[in-house]
Structure 1
Amino acid sequence: MVGLFWHCLREPFAGRREVFAENVVAGGLVAATPALKVLIGQILAGR
């Protein structure tokens, strides 16, 4: 999931991928689920 978010960033993250992953986990996987749902919907719709 974090890898998918990483590759879809609008602006470059000012750090390493590991730090980005830690931030996603710190924010909580439940909090990231709505964004994941939208992202998967866009992928399946071909956007």
Structure 2
Amino acid sequence: MALALWWATVLKKLRINNGKTFFSTAWTIAMEFGKSLYGLARY
């Protein structure tokens, strides 16, 4: 469930970040992934 929410957030941000560079997009994904792992580790 949390993973589905995370993917929805990432895809939303990808659409928003469409005009940015690939590196910026990849960095955003990495940061979101790290935050989700941190969130899962807390539970």
Q: TM-score, normalised by structure 1?
A: 0.39
Q: Which has the higher contact order (CA 8 A, sep 6+)?
A: 2
Q: TM-score, normalised by structure 2?
A: 0.41
